[in-house]
Amino acid sequence: MTFKFEIEGGNFSKAGNASSAVKKILKQINVPPAIIKRLVVALYEGEVNVVAHARKGWIKVVIEPEEIFVNIEDEGPGIPNIELAMQEGYSTASQKVREMGFGAGMGLPNMKKNADLLNITSQVGKGTNVEIIIFLNQSHK
Amino acid sequence: MTVSEIVDKLNLAVWGGEDGLHRPVTGGYVSDLLSDVMGNASDGDVWITLQTHKNVMAVASLKEVAAVILVKGLAPDDDTLEQSNKENIPLLGTKMETFEVAGKLYELLKK
């Protein structure tokens, strides 16, 4: 099963809509709650990153018997130094975004904590591609 | 303990999400950083914050918190209130500061 969603850059009033839609689907198909919880944290952080930094983005969720694969792709500024971006507390978010309680430099670390596999590639000036995998059978970890 | 009992005992205002007042409360979390709440709050928590914008309800819903308490008499934005009603997650309010309301909630829940 594959589901696709669009994310509008800069529109915080819609941030979380895609994550919420994915959560509903996963519940309907009886994915274990512990897996849903982790996936939702990782996905929401990815979605907010697109809203906060990029012009637009796309989420693709592929549900396989063994794993859930999420791809978040955006058109945006890209990340010059991914290692630095992964550090807890590091953020390039605007003052406005920070005042809303985002941009504390916790997003990518949250994604890493909750994903079984996280792969980020980015081209400065073009965009960022994030892949998240969570195994449905945690003994495969 | 339910959200409703906490509303009564702490004399909280109910801004919206009345249909969720029966929700059971299992703990509390205090933070104004949304990613911190995403990463660390648990379902069934009452979340205490000074943030009043709509994304609070998005996080509250994704984390399945029992209720949200806005402190210092802060009013929710209109779309925050709307979302609280849509999700049936009670959006509560108090004139107390975070320290005071968190302390009182802790006392209630540890019994």
Is A16 close to B39, i.e. CB distance below 8 A? no
- Running along chain A, 141 residues long, what does each successive block of 10 average in pLDDT? 96 95 96 95 97 97 96 97 95 94 94 97 98 86 55
Question: How many pairs of residues across A and B have Cβ atoms under 8 Å apart?
Answer: 60
Facing B35 at nearest CB: one of A15, A23, A45: A45
Q: Measured between alpha carbons, how far is residue B96 from residues B25, B44, B99, B100, B103 in Å?
A: 20, 22, 8, 6, 11
- Residue A132 maps to which CATH number? 3.30.565.10
Count of the separate structural domains present in chain A: 1
Q: Give the residues of chain B that fall short of pLDDT 70.
A: none
Mutate which of B55, B70, B77, B98 to disrupt the A interface (most A C-beta within 10 Å)? B55
How far is A80 from A119, CA to CA, in rounded Å? 15
How far is A72 from A58, CA to CA, in rounded Å? 6
CATH number of this structure's domain B3-110, picked from the four choices 3.10.20.740, 3.40.50.410, 3.20.20.140, 3.40.1390.20: 3.40.1390.20
For CA atoms B108, B23, A18, A36, the dihedral sign is positive
Is B62 close to A19, i.e. CB distance below 8 A? yes
For residue A141, what pLDDT is reported?
55
Domain residues for A18? Answer: 2-140
For residue A137, what pLDDT is reported?
84
